Structure formats: structure tokens, C-alpha cells
């Protein structure tokens, strides 16, 4: 199973949420890979706390692979390479957690037919080696998105399950943007069709994830004034209606992650120690990550109503 993570805007929480969800999936025993296809800004090493790959690796990353400089992209086994003590040992029962970073200084690149073929080859390898692969795409309409839409339409990948998660913040602007990225002119559906996908089939594998959501009824918000809670509740109702109108309402939402103060200030994996011992992150955030991790490769969770 390959999951493509995208968003229209930057800063939606796409990378941090995906990283945490896949970390949780590995803890559940699955072998998982995280491919940094955010070619213009390859900073996934920062989230996984790999100092040497904070801005991509010095050589042999995904950029080099697509340029044809190396036969295989560099991979980092996070149970060994992470600088955080709590991540350095693979917990009993956990699966592999492997990061494929981009290159330091690497940027966006125009895609050639050769690159699409390399992409097909890479995805076939991922399918063989890992239970679930996450491909973190750039924000908005990008070369990377067009490339993976092209690759997944090829007959070689016909038997690989490919699904899409579109991340957005829970605001008016972000809802409009997410809808535009999928359904708008030259959006994912338009581009997919131009590369050989069938529109209804592609549409049926796209779901949305709401990030940094404030739940006005949450006990964590006990410090808010009554006026603020009332206002937030009304806003929440307006957003729910807006989302439903543009087709990103309850039938297509795959999950929702609450706002967490820790993530506001630091992009990182939230460990059980952070929640239980240090108590700097909320259990409800980890619950949301675990829920997404558990359901992400279950076919029935992706069925359309
Ligand atoms: N649930 C959350 N609560 C609070 N802040 C969050 C949450 N999820 C992500 N963030 C923060 O939002 C910022 C953008 O997240 P990031 O994953 O880098 O976005 P993207 O990959 O979409 O550009 C980061 O500082 C991140 O830590
Ligand atoms: Mg990102």
C-alpha cells in the first residue's frame, strides 16, 4: 500500500502528522517507509530527529536517484539513526521504520520520462519491502504530484494499492484550498485524468485529514472564557457546513488531529514518554495518530459510501 500525502498549502501539518502516524504504524508491527518527495524543501530529517539529514543528506538522496546518479536512494533506519534516545532502539514487536530523505540543497525538478520509470521502479521496490509506504509530496500543484500520478497510472503499478490523504487546517481558507487542489482546474483529478487515471476511481481513493483542530467541548480548553467557547462552537459549525458543501465533509474525511501545544512549537515524533512521563503532549493527540495508523491500510476504511 502506498499513501500519498499532500496539501494545497504549506504548514498544514502534513509532514508532522504523516511522520507520527507512520511511527505509530511501525510500533504496531508494520514495516513502514517514509519517502520525502517534498523536493523543494527536503527537511523530513528534522521531524525524525536525524541531525545529519536535517536538510536532506549530503549525497545519494532521492534527488540523486531521480537524476540517475545512484541506483538506489539512500535510506536511514530510524531505529538506529535517530538522535533521540527514546527512538534509538527498535521496541519489541515493532516493524521497520525507514526514511528515504532528499538531497541537501536539492530543489524541484521538471520530470522526464526516465524519471517516471525510476518512480515506478522505486514504488515496486517499496511494495515488495514494506507493508505501507508514505510519500510526502510538496504543497500545491507540483512536479512531484504529476510524476506520481503518471507513475501510478502505468500498467506496472496496476496491482499496487495507491491512496491519497489531503491535509488541511480547520479554517475557511484551508478548506477552500484543499477542495481546489483536488477538484479545481489542473488539480489532482484533472492531472490524474491527463495521465491516464479514471476520474471516479481516482476520486474514490482521496480522503482528507484535518489538522490542529480545536474541539470547543474539549476539557483541555477549560481555561477559555465562555464567550470564546461559544464563538468557537459557532465557527466549528460554520466550517462543518462549508466542508460538507465542497465535498470534504463527513463522507470523505479520514481523520482529524487535535491541536497540540507541543507540535505548535516543535516538529517531532510524540513518544509515549512525552505523554505519560514528561506529560508535555496530550494523549488525545496520540490517540488520533494511532487511530489513523490503525485504519490506514484497512480496505473497508477506504470504501466510499
Ligand atoms: N496537531 C497539531 N497541533 C499543533 N501544531 C501542529 C499540529 N500538527 C502540525 N503542527 C505544526 O504545524 C507546523 C507545520 O507542520 P508541517 O508538518 O511542517 O506542515 P507541512 O508539511 O504541511 O508543511 C509545524 O510547526 C507543526 O509542528
Ligand atoms: Mg512538510
Distance 223 CA to ligand 2 centre (A): 31
* Confidence check: pLDDT of 297 > 90: yes
The pTM of this model reads 0.97
Q: Nearest ligand to the C-alpha of residue 269? A: 1
Q: Nearest ligand to the C-alpha of residue 40? A: 2
Distance 182 CA to ligand 2 centre (A): 18
Distance 227 CA to ligand 2 centre (A): 34
Atom of ligand 1 nearest to the CA of 213: 1
Q: Nearest ligand to the C-alpha of residue 44? A: 2
pLDDT in tens, 9-40: 999 999 999 999 999 999 999 999 999 999 99
Per-residue pLDDT band for 260 (boundaries 50, 70, 90) equals: very high
Q: What percent of the chain has pLDDT over 90?
A: 91
Atom of ligand 1 nearest to the CA of 43: 18
99 Cβ contact list (under 8 Å, min separation 6)? 33, 34, 36, 44, 45, 48, 50, 53, 75, 76, 78, 81
Query: How far, in Å, CA of 129 to CA of 96, rounded?
Result: 10
- The set of cell numbers assigned to 52 is 545529519
pLDDT in tens, 45-64: 999 999 999 999 999 999 99
| Predicted local distance difference test score (pLDDT) of residue 177 | 97
| Predicted local distance difference test score (pLDDT) of residue 126 | 98
* Confidence check: pLDDT of 221 > 90: no
- Whether residue 50 contacts residue 78, with contact meaning beta carbons closer than 8 Å, is answered with yes
Mean pLDDT of the 234-252 span: 92
| Predicted local distance difference test score (pLDDT) of residue 247 | 86
| Mutation choice for ligand 1 from 39, 258, 263, CB with most ligand atoms inside 8 A | 263
Please give all residues whose beta carbon lies within 6 A of any atom in ligand 1, as ranges.
Answer: 7, 10-17, 167, 211-212, 257, 259-260, 263-264, 267
Distance 212 CA to ligand 1 centre (A): 8
- Residue closest by Cα to atom 1 of ligand 1: 212
Atom of ligand 1 nearest to the CA of 267: 27
* Confidence check: pLDDT of 305 > 70: no
153 Cβ contact list (under 8 Å, min separation 6)? 192, 195, 196, 197
Mean pLDDT of the 92-104 span: 97
- Whether residue 150 contacts residue 111, with contact meaning beta carbons closer than 8 Å, is answered with yes
Distance 199 CA to ligand 1 centre (A): 30
Please report where in the chains the cell 494545497 appears, as a residue: 8
Mean pLDDT of the 120-136 span: 98
Atom of ligand 1 nearest to the CA of 264: 5
- The set of cell numbers assigned to 244 is 460538507
Distance of CA 205 to the CA centre of its chain: 15
- Residue closest by Cα to atom 3 of ligand 1: 259
The sheet that has 76-77: what strands, in order across it? 76-77, 97-100, 32-37, 132-139, 2-7, 162-169, 206-213, 253-258
| Predicted local distance difference test score (pLDDT) of residue 56 | 97
236 Cβ contact list (under 8 Å, min separation 6)? 214, 215, 216
Amino acid at each position: 500500500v502506498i499513501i500519498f500525502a499532500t496539501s494545497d498549502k504549506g504548514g498544514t501539518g502534513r509532514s508532522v502528522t504523516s511522520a507520527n502516524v507512520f511511527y505509530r504504524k511501525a510500533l504496531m508491527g508494520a514495516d513502514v517507509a517514509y519517502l520525502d518527495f517534498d523536493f523543494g524543501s527536503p527537511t523530513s530529517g528534522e521531524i525524525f530527529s536525524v541531525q545529519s539529514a536535517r536538510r536532506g543528506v549530503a549525497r545519494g538522496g532521492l534527488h540523486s536517484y531521480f537524476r540517475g546518479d545512484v541506483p538506489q536512494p539512500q535510506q536511514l533506519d530510524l531505529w538506529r539513526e535517530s538522535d533521540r534516545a527514546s527512538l534509538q532502539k527498535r521496541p519489541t514487536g515493532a516493524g521497520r521504520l525507514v526514511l528515504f530523505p532528499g538531497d541537501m540543497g536539492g530543489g524541484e525538478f521538471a520530470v522526464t520520462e526516465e524519471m517516471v520509470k525510476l518512480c515506478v521502479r522505486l514504488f515496486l521496490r517499496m511494495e515488495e519491502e514494506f507493508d505501507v509506504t508514505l510519500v510526502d509530496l510538496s504543497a500545491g500543484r507540483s512536479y512531484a504530484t504529476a510524476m506520481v500520478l503518471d507513475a501510478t497510472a502505468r500498467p506496472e503499478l496496476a496491482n499496487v494499492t495507491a491512496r491519497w490523504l489531503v491535509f488541511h487546517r480547520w479554517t475557511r481558507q484551508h478548506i477552500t484550498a484543499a477542495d481546489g487542489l483536488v477538484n479545481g482546474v489542473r488539480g489532482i483529478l484533472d492531472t490524474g485524468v491527463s495521465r491516464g487515471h479514471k476520474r471516479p476511481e481516482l476520486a474514490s481513493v482521496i480522503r482528507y485529514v484535518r489538522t490542529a483542530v480545536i474541539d470547543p467541548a474539549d476539557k483541555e480548553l477549560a481555561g477559555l472564557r465562555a464567550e470564546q467557547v461559544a464563538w468557537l462552537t459557532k465557527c466549528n459549525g460554520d466550517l462543518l457546513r462549508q466542508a460538507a458543501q465542497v465535498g470534504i465533509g463527513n463522507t470523505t474525511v479520514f481523520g482529524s488531529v487535535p491541536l497540540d501545544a507541543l507540535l505548535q512549537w516543535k516538529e517531532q515524533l510524540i513518544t509515549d514518554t512525552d505523554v505519560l512521563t514528561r506529560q508535555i503532549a496530550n494523549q488525545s493527540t496520540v490517540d488520533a495518530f494511532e487511530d489513523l495508523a490503525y485504519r490506514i491500510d484497512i480496505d473497508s476504511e477506504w470504501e466510499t459510501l
